[in-house]
Structure 1
Amino acid sequence: MTEQIQGGRLAAQAIDAEGVDTIFTLCGGHVMPIYEGCRLEGVRVIDVRHEQAAAHAAEAWGRINRSCGVAVVTAGPGVTGVVTAVANSFSAQTPLVVIGGARPLAQAGQGALQELDQRAILDPITKWSAVCMQPERIADYVATAFRHALARPRGPVYLELPMDVLFAEASGAPARSRSEARTFGDPREMMKAADLLTKAERPAVIAGSGIWWDGGWKQLRAFAENGELPIFLNGSGRGALPPEHPLFFQHARGKALEAADVICVIGTPLDFRLKFGRFPEPAKLIHIHADATELGRNRAPDAGVVGDCAAVLGILADGVKTHAGRKAWLENLGAADEAWWDQHRPEIESDSSPIHHYRLGAELDRVLDPGTIVIGDGGDVVAAASRVLRIHRPGHWLDPGPFGCLGVGPPYALGVKAARPDKQVVVIAGDGAFGLNGFEFETLTRLGLPAVFVIGNDAAWGEIRIPQIGLYGEDAEVATRLAPTPYERLTETFGGHAEHVERPEELAPALERALGAGAPAIVNVMLDPDAMAGHAYRGM
């Protein structure tokens, strides 16, 4: 006779069977059997200070592993606490499994503790949701949740396990229920894409997060080199080509999109980051994406390929050829890149105090090891630093994605360090953004997971304040000023290493001390609140 075990342990076994060795949670009685199951099955349980952080951390654990993380939350406010993080995952098309507790089925509709129609809240921002009503089906439901989360387009899912189902005993062996098969694209569309790129005199390639998720950075490099194609990277695609590669361009994207005769977009949607696909009409568009519904959104492609980025690029790398007249185009793009650096060199090398955002990015670029995983969590400070700070390896840049969700930095650091404890992790955070989930610094110190937080402190919600003043005048600063808070003093309560920086020459030594401290660290950098005046607000 098959052994009967508690439903919570069945859930833990099924999570473990998916290769997940860590879950993220904020404790609650409705899901207590899952904790006991994880203890017995050797699955690590990391407890946080807010459910939103649990879901963000689980998403980051999945991102860095190119897999799917798990957040376990209790009923009612536990489930509602993850809504923002789930919405962020949904917008970014990143996989995430949220397991929510619920009142016992036997008490449905009777006004039980924390009773709520939880699926109705999460259905609009998940790919799939379900309630498991029998303990013997728990393993099946967990496997199904992972299948939906990881199927293209990837995204978050919600599985509800009521309290009486988790406490009940049953049997049920976990089993994976998905295929690793990849889609290679319609051969006719692939031929059109290869032909357009081969004949193009002024091609431009934009590669996004799909490159990382599909493991396509080697194929991207071969594709670029075989076709002599200029590459621009965004999202999790950053680092797919090393910054010194002659076909990688960073600051010439606007020029390229205005003048290109063929634009190839890979693994990213035609959203606001790419002007909703509103490129000059003469340009031909190639769009490669795993989600068929993205092809044609905002602009119909001349060649549309539904497929896995690595699989498609592996074929296109053999199909594209160099064009004899492309040398001048590449030289023009290189000149545009250099022109940006020349234009902003005074700011990058500025010795002014408070410190300029670009100078902060330059010091980070000088100090950080190429193997550092960098997390961006903020507005102006992240936008500015990312223009100067180079990312050297695939998967070594994390940001929230198109949802623009602030507060991801501390929980992302937690998720990344849980998955890669030996990696150096640095969070570039705005002072406003850090405040949203800053108490997760306590989680990092409590668990002994060192990460360095570089807080760009302009005592404001700078990305909103500057256009606010530009639109309405100096007297119109409403709800956008903060105090110049000494965030480094959190270490006096939580532990960790502290640095306070006011002058540019203090930056590098402070960063080096923080990186060498072997403990969670806060480097509080006082920035010029008006340094980014003239910088366009990206949401308008």
Structure 2
Amino acid sequence: MAAGDPTRVQKVTDLILGAKRPIIVVGDGIYWSDGMAALQHFADLMQIPVNCRRTARGAVSELDPLSVPSALRGAMLAKADLIVLVGMRAGELESWFEAPDWPRGNVKYVQINETAQDLWYALPTEEMVVGASRIVIEQLTSYCIDGLGSKKIARDDWLAHLSNLREQNIANRAKLLAKFGGQTPIHTYELTDVLANVVDDDASIIYDSYSGSLYLTDAVRARFAGQILDAGPRVALGQGIGMSIGAAVARPGKQVVTLVGDGGMGIAAPDIETMIHYNLPATVVVLNNSSWGGNSLQGDDIHPNIDWSVGKNNRWDLAFQAFGAHGEFVEKSEDLAPAMRRAFESGKPAVVNVVADCDGVDYSQAWLRLKSGDMWSRGLDEIGPEIRRHFQVTPMNALRIMKTAGDNGTHIPLDFIAELTGNDEASLRQLADERSYSIPK
């Protein structure tokens, strides 16, 4: 592992010491360089909020006051005057570091990455440092200590802003749980909330559900790096069961749980037999919404002649009970937590088969973005109120829908996006200007 160029590291140090509202966003590089302790020490020393992505989630525990959960990242980035990217690679899931999600204007960017190829040259950047994440963070710590001397860093207003956002998010989640709780079928919001509150604090949690992962990511709180695993930079299905086998071998005696959609079960469920054969006590929670890739979200409204189901309420629990697994079948919300606890306490490979639903756009923005091109090709005259109701989203999410369509080669006019999403065109244009998002002509 290599250190960063001292001259460049000093320039980054000066930027950090001069910033009033800095934020650090870390990716996989901090995990693979074993830089978690160095990052925590630096964040504490400099009182800088930290957002952790992918395997780095939990590098700063998401219970820490300096942690920026994913639900709060956008609001923090919008107010930051310095954004330090550490071990982060650009990609579709990071919107290629582009507006409106990644602001421009008065904010400055720093990039730190292992190799020059990992830096993203399309992002206007004040300084770039090539080096291992941990070593560069240790260099910055040393340089900042020298630069501070006897002074102490105080960012009370900035940290108060983060604290207020966290309180608002907690209140909003409580409202959503009240809204979606107790439904039949069980809503995915409640399913993921229960799962997050039932698992042990040191459990390994694996994402493998196109719809469910959107809900689960904000429900769980990572306490250490590598606690939460996913499919990588591209959305995939079916990998969670194999990853559960690996996690159960790597962390014997610790809970391992994966949330798998029924589409993923159709691809990889037979691997549960391997789990059973070697008596690896991992728990597979099935989001059984009889839908392939979330396409039942708008059901007959958008796809009246296409069957996106993968079998109605398949009994995956019974199938693997026959092989020797512990099985649970859950249709009522009050049975969710007891069923999951029994599965964890069984000491066996387990399948918790939950008849669930995820209707509603609250956590389905990614899916809506994929459908925007379809809406544009149909035209507003064809898509009536029964379809448009699914696209009633916030102004920010309306711009995200527009950007995703453009990234995929479909340039949709702003007036169409405004009418589709129920937003005022002038307001969208104003927000785009504020977020330095250039509206395609």
Scaled to the shorter chain, the TM-score interval is 0.7 to 0.9
Please name the residue that 1:23 is paired with.
Answer: none
1:89-137 deviations in whole A, cap 9, x for unaligned? xxxxxxxxxxxxxxxxxxxxxxxxxxxxxxxxxxxxxxxxxxxxxxxxx
Pick from 102, 112, 115 the counterpart of residue 288 of structure 1.
112
The offset of 1:273, in angstroms, is: 2.7
The normalised TM-score by structure 2 is 0.76
CA contact (8 A) 2:63 2:221 kept: no
Confirm or deny that 1:274 pairs with 2:94: yes
Confirm or deny that 1:254 pairs with 2:74: yes
Confirm or deny that 1:188 pairs with 2:7: yes
Q: What amino acid maps onto 2:310 in structure 1? A: L
Please name the residue that 1:236 is paired with.
Answer: 55
Distance 2:241 2:219 in 1: 22
The offset of 1:479, in angstroms, is: 5.0
1:484-532 deviations in whole A, cap 9, x for unaligned? 2121112233221000111222111111100011110000112124144
The offset of 1:332, in angstroms, is: 1.5
CA contact (8 A) 1:462 1:529 kept: no
Distance 1:477 1:293 in 2: 46
Distance 2:49 2:16 in 1: 11
Pick from 258, 261, 264 the counterpart of residue 84 of structure 2.
264
Confirm or deny that 1:513 pairs with 2:342: yes
Residues 265-414 of structure 1 aligned to structure 2 (within 5 Å): 265-278=85-98, 279-281=102-104, 282-320=106-144, 326-349=155-178, 350-414=181-245
Distance 1:244 1:475 in 2: 42
CA contact (8 A) 1:409 1:434 kept: no
Please name the residue that 1:130 is paired with.
Answer: none
| 1:318 to 1:361, Cα distance in 2 relative to 1, 3 A | farther
In structure 1, the residue corresponding to 2:357 is in which secondary structure? coil
The offset of 1:422, in angstroms, is: 2.5
In structure 2, the residue corresponding to 1:494 is in which secondary structure? coil
CA contact (8 A) 2:214 2:364 kept: no
Distance 1:285 1:309 in 2: 16
| 1:297 to 1:402, Cα distance in 2 relative to 1, 3 A | farther
The offset of 1:465, in angstroms, is: 4.0
| 1:381 to 1:189, Cα distance in 2 relative to 1, 3 A | same
The percent identity for this pair of structures is 30
Please name the residue that 1:491 is paired with.
Answer: 320
Gaps of 5+ in 2: 371-403, 405-441
Distance 1:477 1:433 in 2: 23
In structure 1, the residue corresponding to 2:286 is in which secondary structure? strand
Please name the residue that 1:11 is paired with.
Answer: none
Residues 105-124 of structure 1 aligned to structure 2 (within 5 Å): none
1:392-449 deviations in whole A, cap 9, x for unaligned? 2222111111122211111111122223333221111112122211110001101111
Deviates more, 1:428-437 or 1:340-349: 340-349
The offset of 1:307, in angstroms, is: 1.2
Distance 1:325 1:422 in 2: 42
Distance 1:198 1:187 in 2: 16
In structure 1, the residue corresponding to 2:249 is in which secondary structure? helix
| 1:212 to 1:479, Cα distance in 2 relative to 1, 3 A | farther
Pick from 308, 314, 323 the counterpart of residue 480 of structure 1.
308
Q: What amino acid maps onto 1:257 in structure 2? A: L
1:170-198 deviations in whole A, cap 9, x for unaligned? xxxxxxxxxxxx11111111111111122
In structure 2, the residue corresponding to 1:241 is in which secondary structure? coil
CA contact (8 A) 2:47 2:153 kept: no
Q: What amino acid maps onto 2:160 in structure 1? A: E
Pick from 239, 247, 254 the counterpart of residue 423 of structure 1.
254
Confirm or deny that 1:446 pairs with 2:277: yes
Distance 2:81 2:365 in 1: 27
1:159-180 deviations in whole A, cap 9, x for unaligned? xxxxxxxxxxxxxxxxxxxxxx
CA contact (8 A) 1:204 1:263 kept: yes
Q: What amino acid maps onto 2:288 in structure 1? A: N
Distance 1:518 1:487 in 2: 19
If you compute each CA radius of gyration, which structure gives the higher value, 1 or 2? 1
In structure 2, the residue corresponding to 1:206 is in which secondary structure? strand
In structure 2, the residue corresponding to 1:288 is in which secondary structure? strand
Distance 2:169 2:92 in 1: 22
The offset of 1:389, in angstroms, is: 1.2
The offset of 1:356, in angstroms, is: 2.1
The offset of 1:333, in angstroms, is: 2.1
The offset of 1:323, in angstroms, is: 7.8
Distance 2:94 2:143 in 1: 26
The offset of 1:270, in angstroms, is: 2.3
CA contact (8 A) 1:374 1:427 kept: yes
Please name the residue that 1:216 is paired with.
Answer: 35
Pick from 32, 37, 45 the counterpart of residue 226 of structure 1.
45
| 1:298 to 1:436, Cα distance in 2 relative to 1, 3 A | farther
| 1:375 to 1:287, Cα distance in 2 relative to 1, 3 A | same
Q: What amino acid maps onto 2:93 in structure 1? A: R
CA contact (8 A) 1:357 1:531 kept: no
1:43-74 deviations in whole A, cap 9, x for unaligned? xxxxxxxxxxxxxxxxxxxxxxxxxxxxxxxx
Pick from 357, 360, 368 the counterpart of residue 528 of structure 1.
357
1:340-391 deviations in whole A, cap 9, x for unaligned? 2222323334222222222222212221111111111111211201201112
CA contact (8 A) 1:347 1:356 kept: no
CA contact (8 A) 2:215 2:363 kept: no
Residues 80-95 of structure 1 aligned to structure 2 (within 5 Å): none
CA contact (8 A) 1:376 1:428 kept: yes
CA contact (8 A) 2:214 2:363 kept: no
Confirm or deny that 1:203 pairs with 2:22: yes
CA contact (8 A) 1:380 1:532 kept: no
The offset of 1:462, in angstroms, is: 4.9
The normalised TM-score by structure 1 is 0.62
CA contact (8 A) 1:441 1:494 kept: no
Q: How many residues align?
A: 356
CA contact (8 A) 2:39 2:137 kept: yes
Distance 1:358 1:448 in 2: 31
Please name the residue that 2:287 is paired with.
Answer: 456
Deviates more, 1:271-280 or 1:249-258: 271-280
CA RMSD of aligned residues (A): 2.1
